[in-house]
Amino acid sequence: MKLIVTGGAGFIGSNFIFHWRSAHPEDQIICLDKLTYAGNLSTLKDILDAPNFKFVKADICDRPTVYALFEEEKPDVVVNFAAESHVDRSIEDPSIFLKTNILGTSVLMDACRKYGITRYHQVSTDEVYGDLPLDRPDLMFTEETPIHTSSPYSASKASADLLVLAYHRTYGLPVTISRCSNNYGPYHFPEKLIPLMIINALHDEKLPVYGDGKNVRDWLYVEDHCRAIDLIIHKGKVGEIYNVGGHNEMANIDIVKLICKALGKPESLIEHVTDRKGHDRRYAIDPAKIHRELGWLPETKFADGIKKTIDWYLNHEDWWQPIIDGEYQNYYQQMYGNR
């Protein structure tokens, strides 16, 4: 099988490539990535010259280049991870989110129609469902929960999902969609909650918790997400949406305290800062469908996954230090300077 994996130099896409190469070593993978601020070729350095792997630097919105790649490679499967993924950045400037996340998705699917594929898989998010109240722990997102977005990021991802379903109904494109909860693990870009708190704590810097810190996210170890996508590609039903999550709801403040404890740092580093605009209160996925129909279950308990993740950041300063030494400094100042 030959796959084009877009966004494979980012957090989940790179973990997915590592997963797929080890689970299906006979398959060929072409990683298409624009290498935005969030893409790191260093993540893929050990496989760049490997047989069955090719890296192509390109923008999914660049139609002629995408078509030329499909014409040359004739992929069987396309897995689309490429996206602008950070909610805070989408609040500062939505435009690139609309371009990459919506228009880029349509270019990829047009290429799939033109050259023919057996599956187009869209990597989506639980954020398309909006949020849930803290005082109703019985409520969870199912695949039938109406789309109700809060941020420009989630609105762009929801728009892409609608387009994917429309291409299935209108053109018969063989699509699947996965909507996963928050991931954590190796190669997570330092702007996101868990790596940001680990790296700041290591430097004895303030740990900026938005608002009261009681917002809840449903955390899943990245490898479990990658296995779910693998299963959906192999066994999932075309035209279907699958929610992916591990029943692991945690308040942000508890995660930050846990990181302090694991690193032996004082909780006095925690600073409550101005809340995110439109901040979603709680996410919670009901993964019953993917369990029932495809037999998927998460394998990594949060206690083990967070330990592995913290250890990974302790042992891979060579990966994250160049990132935080670069343009990230300006971002951090702009985002947190006067918060």
Beta strands in 231-306 (DSSP E): 241-244, 249-251, 270-273
- Can residue 284 be called a binding residue for ligand TYD (CB under 6 A)? no
Q: Give the number of residues in contact with ligand NAD, rule: CB under 6 A.
A: 30
- Can residue 183 be called a binding residue for ligand NAD (CB under 6 A)? yes
Whether residue 118 contacts residue 76, with contact meaning beta carbons closer than 8 Å, is answered with yes
Which of 158/270 has CB closer to ligand NAD? Answer: 158
261 vs 249: CA distance, rounded Å: 19
- Can residue 287 be called a binding residue for ligand TYD (CB under 6 A)? no
Applying CB under 6 A, which of residues 4, 9, 164, 259 lies at the interface with ligand NAD? 9
Helices 317-325/193-202 angle, 10° precision: 90
Which of 3/228 has CB closer to ligand TYD? Answer: 228
Is residue 144 part of the annotated active site? The answer reads no
Residue 292's region, left for phi above 0, alpha for psi from -120 to 50, else beta, is alpha
The 204-233 contact track toward ligand TYD, x by CB under 6 A, reads ----xxx----x-x----------------
Is residue 120 part of the annotated active site? The answer reads no
- Can residue 243 be called a binding residue for ligand TYD (CB under 6 A)? no
Which of 51/337 has CB closer to ligand TYD? Answer: 337
Q: In the bound complex, what is the minimum distance in angstroms from residue 156's beta carbon to ligand TYD? A: 13
Find the residue with minimal CB distance to ligand NAD.
10
Is residue 131 part of the annotated active site? The answer reads no
Q: In the bound complex, what is the minimum distance in angstroms from residue 244's beta carbon to ligand NAD? A: 8
Residue of 33, 59, 126, 191 marked catalytic: 126
Residue with tokens 């990245």: 222
5 vs 313: CA distance, rounded Å: 25
Which of 271/299 has CB closer to ligand TYD? Answer: 271
The 32-61 contact track toward ligand NAD, x by CB under 6 A, reads -xxxx-xx-------------------xxx
| Residue 197: C-alpha distances to residues 102, 287, 336 (Å) | 31, 28, 13
Q: In the bound complex, what is the minimum distance in angstroms from residue 125's beta carbon to ligand NAD? A: 4
Whether residue 250 contacts residue 302, with contact meaning beta carbons closer than 8 Å, is answered with yes
Report, in this order, helix, strand and coil percent for the chain, each rounded to 5. Answer: 45, 15, 35
- Can residue 252 be called a binding residue for ligand TYD (CB under 6 A)? yes
* Per-residue buried b or exposed e for 212-235, using 16+ beta carbons within 10 Å of the residue's own CB: ebebbbbbbbbbbbbbbbbbbbee
Which pair of tokens denotes residue 257?
């305290």
Residue 9 binds which of ligand NAD, ligand TYD, none (CB < 5-8 A, kind-dependent): ligand NAD
- Can residue 182 be called a binding residue for ligand TYD (CB under 6 A)? yes
**Number of neighbouring beta carbons within 10 Å of residue 315:** 10
Q: Which of 107, 29, 27 is nearest to 63 (CA)?
A: 107
Q: Which of 134, 39, 156 is nearest to 87 (CA)?
A: 156
Chain positions contacting ligand NAD, by CB under 6 A: 6-7, 9-13, 33-36, 38-39, 59-61, 81-85, 100, 104, 123, 125, 157, 180, 182-183, 189
Catalytic residue numbers, as ranges: 126-127, 153
Chain positions contacting ligand TYD, by CB under 6 A: 87, 182, 192-193, 196, 208-210, 215, 217, 252, 276
